[in-house]
């Protein structure tokens, strides 16, 4: 049997605040609770939301003798330098070193990305085995997938973020033949079904075969997804008087179910072909910019 490599799950969407970090944390805890070995990488080194969430969890666990599961966590830092090329080379080297360290020893690596289009964000997309894109129920959010006409019908014109994903997929496929699986999950859904909600669902179903993504059943707007940041707890944790002074409610249980449904869509750890770190250099370093000389 071939040795296994970590399955790299990237949370991405150029739309800010769509729920990437929150979903990343819940996936990590769900995978750990299912007995998998999980590492995590924060490439949003300005906000560091995932990093803070994990730090809070480790501290809360220690202070309350709870033995909560925590992932092996890494931060892919932004580099500073004189030239774009130099900065990207340093960020690349740092990222490859992290991937090299975790690839063989973990079943899943969960990567959180920033909303802004950065080198590390693109690199993460190009490396993903699975890309999970949380999207809010709004026409503005859907515009990044495909243009929507004034009569609110989807058009064949690919949106900005979908174009980025398409390029990342293409680059990756050319390098090692892996086809990235793209899962889109509606997030912060109102629990009351509305005409708008049904319309957006219809549009996403229309985009899915064109852009080649799978649409997961959604995640609802629930207090449980945002109330535990400072303690590092999640909807997946056992909530009782010792942990939060609250008993789990039906909403907690429903939230757990939603996250487990998303986890169930993930493929298993990969069969090891080539080290991802070894194929990476072929994926992204940009060619040296061509500078016109006086003779040209
Ligand atoms: N299902 C949910 N129910 C309720 N609140 C949510 C849910 N998902 C996310 N949130 C809240 O929405 C806000 C944005 O979430 P989050 O920070 O995870 O998004 P993000 O995509 O990582 O943002 P950014 O693009 O800035 O990195 C946070 O306040 C978070 O607590
Ligand atoms: Mg975030």
Q: Residues 159-213: pLDDT tens digits?
A: 899 999 999 998 888 777 888 999 999 999 988 778 888 889 999 999 999 999 9
Output the residue whose Cα is nearest ligand 1's atom 8: 19
Query: Does 296 reside within a domain?
Result: no
Which of residues 280 and 180 earns the better pLDDT score? 180
C-alpha–C-alpha distance, residues 145 and 178, integer Å: 22
Q: What is the arithmetic mean of pLDDT over 89-108?
A: 89
pLDDT exceeds 80 at position 124: yes
Distance 169 CA to ligand 1 centre (A): 26
Percent with pLDDT over 90 in the chain: 53
288 found inside a domain: no
Domain contains 290: no
Query: Encoding tokens for residue 129?
Result: 């085995």
- pTM beyond 0.85, yes or no: yes
Binned at pLDDT 50, 70 and 90, residue 294 comes out as: very low
pLDDT for res 172: 82
pLDDT of residue 289: 43
Choose between 29 and 82: higher pLDDT. Answer: 29
Q: Is the CB of 44 under 6 A from ligand 1?
A: yes
- Top pLDDT among 131 and 170 is at 131
- Three-class DSSP category at 17: coil
- What's residue 295's pLDDT? 44
pLDDT recorded at residue 230: 93
> Is the per-residue pLDDT at 108 higher than 80?
yes
For ligand 1, is residue 234 a contact (CB within 6 Å)? Answer: no
- If one counts the domains in the chain, the total is 1
Q: Of 80 and 155, which is predicted with more confidence?
A: 80
Pairing between strand 270-271 and 4-5?
Answer: antiparallel
Rounded to 5°, the CA angle 115-121-126 comes to 135
Q: How many DSSP H helices and E strands does the chain contain?
A: 9, 11
84 is a domain residue: yes
CA terminus-to-terminus distance, the chain: 57
Tell whether 241 is covered by a domain.
yes
Domain of residue 201, residue span: 4-282
> What pLDDT, on the 0 to 100 scale, is given for residue 293?
41
For residue 289, being part of any structural domain is answered with no
pLDDT (0 to 100) of residue 246 = 67
Give yes or no for residue 242 having a pLDDT over 80. Answer: no
pLDDT tens, residue by residue, 8-40: 999 999 999 999 999 999 999 999 999 999 999
Q: Is the CB of 251 under 6 A from ligand 1?
A: no
Question: Is 287 among the domain residues?
Answer: no
> Looking at the DSSP assignment, which residues form a beta bridge with residue 146?
158
Neighbours of ion ligand 2 (CB under 5 A): 20-21, 49
Q: What pLDDT, on the 0 to 100 scale, is given for residue 2?
A: 56
- Closest ligand relative to 226 C-alpha: 1
**pLDDT tens, position by position, 134-152:** 999 998 999 899 887 766 6
C-alpha to C-alpha distances, 78 to 110, 124, 224, nearest whole angstrom: 18, 13, 32
Q: Which atom of ligand 1 is nearest to the CA of 219?
A: 1
Cβ of residue 188 lying under 6 Å from some atom of ligand 1: yes
The pairing of beta strand 7-11 with beta strand 4-5:
unpaired
Q: Which pLDDT value is given to residue 291? A: 42
Quick one: pLDDT at residue 202? 92
Examine residue 59 and state whether it is found in any structural domain, yes or no: yes
User: Is the Cβ atom of 187 under 6 angstroms away from ligand 1?
Assistant: yes
* pLDDT above 70: residue 286: no
Closest ligand 1 atom to the C-alpha of 23?
18
Q: Using an 8 Å Cβ cutoff, are 21 and 54 in contact?
A: no
Among all bound ligands, the one having the nearest atom to the CA of 18 is: 1
Any atom of ligand 1 within 6 Å of the Cβ of 254: no
18 lines ligand 1 (CB under 6 A): yes
Which ranges constitute the DSSP H helices of the chain? Answer: 20-33, 49-63, 84-102, 119-127, 139-142, 160-176, 195-211, 250-263, 276-279
Q: CATH number for the domain including 127? A: 3.40.50.300
- For residues 60-68, average pLDDT: 91
CA 136, distance to chain mean position in Å, is 15
| Closest ligand relative to 118 C-alpha | 1
């Amino acid at each position: 049997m071939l040795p296994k490599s970590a399955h790299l799950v990237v949370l991405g969407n150029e739309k800010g605040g769509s729920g990437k970090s929150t979903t990343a944390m819940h996936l990590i805890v769900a995978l750990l609770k299912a007995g998998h070995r999980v590492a995590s990488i924060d490439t949003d080194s300005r906000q560091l939301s995932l990093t803070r969430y994990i730090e809070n969890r480790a501290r809360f666990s220690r202070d309350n003798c709870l033995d909560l599961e925590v992932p092996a966590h890494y931060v892919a830092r932004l580099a500073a330098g004189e030239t774009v090329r130099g900065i990207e080379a340093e960020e690349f080297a740092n990222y490859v070193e992290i991937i090299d360290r975790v690839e063989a020893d973990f079943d899943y690596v969960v990567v959180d990305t920033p909303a802004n289009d950065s080198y590390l964000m693109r690199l993460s997309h190009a490396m993903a085995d699975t890309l999970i894109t949380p999207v809010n129920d709004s026409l503005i959010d859907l515009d990044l997938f495909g243009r929507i006409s004034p009569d609110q019908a989807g058009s064949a014109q690919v949106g900005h973020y979908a174009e980025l994903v398409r390029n990342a997929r293409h680059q990756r496929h050319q390098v090692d033949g892996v086809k990235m699986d793209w899962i889109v999950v509606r997030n912060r859904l109102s629990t009351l079904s509305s005409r708008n909600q049904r319309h957006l669902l219809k549009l996403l179903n229309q985009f899915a075969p064109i852009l080649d993504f799978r649409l997961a059943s959604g995640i609802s707007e629930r207090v449980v997804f945002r109330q535990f940041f400072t303690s590092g707890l999640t909807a997946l944790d056992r909530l009782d008087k010792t942990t939060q002074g609250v008993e789990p409610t039906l909403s907690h249980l429903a939230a757990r179910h939603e996250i487990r449904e998303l986890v169930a869509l993930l493929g298993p750890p990969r069969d090891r072909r080539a080290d991802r770190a070894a194929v990476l250099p072929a994926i992204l370093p940009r060619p040296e910019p061509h500078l016109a000389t006086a003779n040209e």
